[in-house]
């Protein structure tokens, strides 16, 4: 917990120009590896680390909406592995840690967002990987049908933890529950428990990158996964509806924050 708070304080101080932290990221090597990574994914090398939300959406789209084969999953995981190998262990820490990203110009919000995305795909390419077309296809179909709701849940989470980090574990739990129920309710119904665990786990990996202490209360043990529909429903036409939690919004005129009520999307 102390380490997490320290990193966050350093990150904010760096962003505000209040302190300097030694960082030894090899910029030449990082830029070279970044270009290779971007080219492999078919993304712009100049934009790949400009906006964390855009990066997360672009990679998710590549992950789920590629070829109708588990080979798409394999290829994307190989791209991440090649990127990490290109950087090497030292540069991986120095360049891709939240502090390293902030030193390179990212905002604290984007730095933690990037870190969460990389941790999410470390799970998806290891423990969460299943080498079967049926599993991949149900995940891909879920993303295709629930992308807007998954993105809305992630956006709500980021806005909430940015404004109210003291309640981060509550917001992380909402994110996990939403992801779990979406993946367990759509095209993976025949393997509902596994899909629910998978959705819960990718959200947990993403959120715990910034708020690791939340792992003590927000867990996704497979043998204890409970399938639920408290955050999802289907309208009369069979369209998926997802409950987006209360979200902190900023009034751009007054600068004041207010909580937007939960809504079904």
Reported as a single tens digit per residue, the pLDDT across 141-196 is 898 889 999 999 999 999 999 999 999 999 999 999 999 999 998 888 788 899 99
Whether 207 and 175 share a structural domain: yes
**Is 178 within a domain?**
yes
Residue 66's pLDDT is 67
Please give the residue range of the domain that contains residue 66. Answer: 25-129
Whether 237 and 176 share a structural domain: yes
Rounded (10°) angle between helices 133-163 and 108-124: 160
- As for how many domains the chain has, the answer is 2
Whether 192 and 258 share a structural domain: yes
Whether 264 and 150 share a structural domain: yes
Q: Confidence class of residue 203 from pLDDT cuts 50, 70 and 90?
A: very high
- Is the pLDDT confidence value at 92 over 90? yes
Select from 83, 100, 129 the last residue of a domain: 129
Select from 129, 161, 194 the last residue of a domain: 129
Whether 158 and 254 share a structural domain: yes
> What is the chain's alpha carbon radius of gyration, rounded to the nearest angstrom?
19
104: which residues sit within 8 A by CB, 6+ positions away?
25, 27, 49, 95
Whether 185 and 215 share a structural domain: yes
28-42, 66-80, 111-125: range with lowest mean pLDDT: 66-80
Whether 117 and 49 share a structural domain: yes
């Amino acid at each position: 917990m102390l380490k997490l708070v320290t990193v966050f304080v350093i990150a904010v101080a760096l962003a505000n120009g209040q302190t300097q932290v030694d960082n030894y990221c090899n910029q030449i090597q990082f830029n070279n590896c970044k270009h290779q990574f971007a080219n492999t994914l078919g993304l712009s090398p100049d934009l790949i680390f400009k906006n964390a939300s855009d990066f997360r959406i672009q990679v998710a789209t590549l992950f789920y909406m590629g070829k109708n084969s588990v080979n798409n999953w394999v290829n994307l995981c190989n791209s991440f592995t090649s990127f990490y190998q290109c950087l090497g262990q030292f540069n991986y820490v120095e360049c891709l840690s939240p502090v390293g990203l902030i030193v390179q110009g990212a905002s604290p919000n984007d730095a933690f967002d990037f870190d969460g995305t990389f941790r999410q795909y470390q799970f998806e390419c290891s423990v969460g990987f299943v080498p079967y077309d049926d599993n991949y296809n149900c995940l891909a179909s879920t993303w295709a049908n629930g992308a807007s709701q998954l993105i809305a849940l992630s956006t709500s989470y980021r806005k909430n933890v940015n404004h109210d980090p003291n309640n981060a574990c509550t917001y992380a739990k909402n994110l996990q529950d939403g992801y779990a129920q979406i993946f367990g309710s759509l095209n993976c119904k025949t393997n509902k428990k596994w899909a629910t665990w998978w959705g819960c786990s990718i959200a947990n990996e993403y959120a715990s990158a910034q708020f690791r202490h939340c792992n003590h209360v927000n867990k996704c043990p497979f043998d204890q996964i409970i399938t639920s529909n408290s955050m999802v429903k289907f309208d009369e036409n069979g369209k998926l509806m997802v409950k987006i939690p209360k979200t902190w919004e900023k009034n751009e005129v007054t600068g004041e924050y207010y909580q937007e009520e939960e809504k079904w999307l």
